[in-house]
Amino acid sequence: MNRFKLTLQELATIIAGSIVSGNSESVFTNIESLEKAHSSDVSFLGNLKYQQDFEKTQAGCVIVPKGVSAPQGSEVSLIEVENPSVSLAVLTEYIQNLDAPVLRGVSEQAFIDDSVVFDAEEVFIDSGARVMANVTIGKGSRIDSGVVIYPGVKIGENCHVQANVVIREKSQIGDRCIIQPNAVIGSDGYGYEFIEGAHKKVPQIGIVVLGDDVEIGSNTSIDRARFGETVIRKGSKIDNLVQIAHNVNIGEHCLVVSQSGVAGSSSLGNYTTIAGQSGVVGHTKVGDQIVVMARSVVTKDISEKGYYSGFPAKKRMEENRYQAQLKKVPDLLKRIKALEAELRALELNK
């Protein structure tokens, strides 16, 4: 975490909180967990299951939810907020921006086609980046070292394309998008036809469209459409090591967590979450405000909002009942074998 120097009052102002206890002029220089914090550190109580850590903490300042008091005998400073976790995010973003350099200009070691449209005084393109023909890059965007941008790509304003990302032909990237290292946007969709004893590649001539404020994690692949568009709509966040197949349509403000996959021509509604190591089979529709829990597989359309789990994914309570019944199977088998043995004994004694 970046070091800083902020008073208790400054901290409260930044996160729009109220000082409950402590000297408003006390100075803090770091953020740390409740367990590891010292007197110059700021921490937070984001979940009451960490109450014991809070009662023992040596932190100088703790951001707490409303109604929480300092442990008896403690001199810890408290700042009261609605949601400590959100407030900590506000604080860390503020601190991160304190020393963040404003990078502008184009490295002489970047390879940029003459047809690329950009303002050299309003973007940053690092050494080793390659930008091909007819690309457009918006103001405030940053292209890091090793990035390869294929012809016809459009990148909006204030985007950050991090090291070694590949963006394939004609992909469209909205404003304020973040694409983390080694991600691939617009790789070929996985399409083959079995002809005369061999798998023949089907051309993939569509594109990928990312809406505003989309984030793509490292080593994630977003396939371009067979034709038309693979779409990830505004505000959605895709984790590391995720596969989004061709012609997938992901709604607004969705979360797709690490090691998950969404197969071809499937769709997610708005505010839907696909938790870690989960999958959505091809040509399947998942509606709005649905949570597919970790290690689950959606095999048919889901429209009713709520939590789903299992393989195949079903409503959480239904899956819980199924799992509870499944645990009884070994005992039931023993009972059946015992009854069979008794039945055989009765038949022999007739």
Distance separating alpha carbons of residues 60 and 36, to the nearest angstrom: 11
Short-list 214, 205, 116, CA closest to 173: 214
**Cα separation of 150 and 218, whole Å?**
19
- Please return the burial class of 293, using the count of CB atoms within 10 Å of its CB with bins 0-12, 13-18 and 19+: middle
Kindly list the distances between the CA atom of residue 208 and the CA atoms of 76, 151, 301, in Å, as whole numbers in the listed order. Answer: 51, 13, 24
Angle CA 239–279–283, to nearest 5: 115
CB 122 within 8 A of CB 139: yes
| Nearest partner of 114 among 104, 124, 102, 106, judged by Cα | 106
Q: Are strands 27-28 and 6-7 parallel, antiparallel or unpaired?
A: antiparallel
Tokens of 135: 């690309």
Active site includes 246?
yes
Task: List the one residue out of 28, 48, 47 whose CA is nearest residue 38.
Answer: 28
Q: Under DSSP, is residue 182 helix (H, G, I), strand (E, B) or coil?
A: coil
The CA distances from residue 248 to 216, 229, 325, in Å, are 15, 8, 36
Residue listed under structure tokens 């239904």: 318
Exactly one of 38, 199, 246, 283 is catalytic; which is it? 246
Catalytic residues, by residue number, are: 246
